């Protein structure tokens, strides 16, 4: 993550213009889009784990780092 931030820190505040969402155009910065994508992935990971439990399964450990 540190390397990513060092490489792209200047561009993370760049405004992305003309992105159409439903019936309007929005402007946002690259950092907000990046943050949205990461948190959206967490949302779907949680959905998968919940569905697995509801079906009677023990979901696998999905942590990336092991200590």
Domains of the chain, by residue range, sit at: 2-54
Which residue did the predictor score with more confidence, 20 or 24? 24
Confidence of residue 67 (pLDDT cuts 50, 70, 90): low
pTM of the predicted structure, to 2 decimals: 0.56
For tokens 């992305």, the residue is 16
pLDDT reported for residue 50: 92
Q: How many whole angstroms separate alpha carbon 10 and alpha carbon 24?
A: 27
Q: How many whole angstroms separate alpha carbon 63 and alpha carbon 41?
A: 13
């Amino acid at each position: 993550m540190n390397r990513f931030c060092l490489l792209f820190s200047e561009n993370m505040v760049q405004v992305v213009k003309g992105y159409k969402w439903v019936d309007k155009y929005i402007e946002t910065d690259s950092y907000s889009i990046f943050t949205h994508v990461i948190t959206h992935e967490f949302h779907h990971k949680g959905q998968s784990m919940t569905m697995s439990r509801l079906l009677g399964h023990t979901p696998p450990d999905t942590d990336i780092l092991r200590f």
